[in-house]
Amino acid sequence: MPDFIKYHIQKGRLVKVPHALRSEFGKGDCYLIDTESIIYLWCGPEATPDERFVGAVTSVWRDQARRGAARLVTVEPGEEPAEFLELFEGEIDITDLDTEGFLKEVILEKREYKLWRIHITGGINLFIEVPRERESLTSDDVYLLDTFDKIFIWRGTTSTGREKFHGMLVARRYDFDRAGAQQIILIDEGEETKEFLEALES
């Protein structure tokens, strides 16, 4: 097989897929296939919206780290282009594998608030869920508090410009995926509003 790295999106993280399993794709999961010049995003027909979202955000992050040198390609199951299939000797195996989505489907009658951490270190971007409590907030990172109607971006005093930028990028992606239903609110550490604290600690 040509040289590339395949990542499986698991609970907001990229997990490198062992070489022996590189041709297997779970119909309920999303994957990034990184050939350096091209970054493919493949999502199974049963992948959840949150997995698709993280896949899209992560592929953009990886491309930005290369100053836009990579080409981003979204691959639809059953419509894989020839150049994609050539990476797997012309054929992939779609299985029943399905990693549990790290976001639950939004139920209008019961919307669950969630807190997400954005952390960048050594060229690696992390977007992971953390306990929704004040103790989770650290000064060197950016956090998104998702209350569905509003998305709060909390920016630590020593968080980097890249983390702040990606916080806004993720929030805007949320807003796009939910058809503009959210209000995005910026909050710097030490300037927390009563509304933010109540949503964080409720």
How far, rounded to the nearest angstrom, does the alpha carbon of residue 43 sit from its chain's CA centroid? 13
d(CA 29, CA 101): 9
**What is the C-alpha to C-alpha distance for residues 3 and 86, in angstroms, rounded to an integer?**
11
Average pLDDT, the chain: 79
Mean pLDDT of 111-117: 80
Which of 46-50, 76-80, 91-95 is the least confident region?
A: 46-50
Structurally, what CATH architecture does the domain formed by 114-201 represent? 3-Layer(aba) Sandwich (3.40)
Which residues of the chain does CATH 3.40.20.10 include? Answer: 5-95, 114-201
pLDDT of residue 102: 40
Domain 5-95 in this protein, CATH class: alpha beta
Q: Does the pLDDT at position 124 exceed 70?
A: no
Mention every residue, 6+ apart, whose C-beta is less than 8 A from residue 116. Answer: 12, 127, 128, 129, 130, 143, 144, 145, 146, 170
pLDDT (tens digit per residue) in 148-182: 778 899 999 999 888 888 888 777 766 655 555 56
Query: Mean pLDDT throughout 87-103?
Result: 72
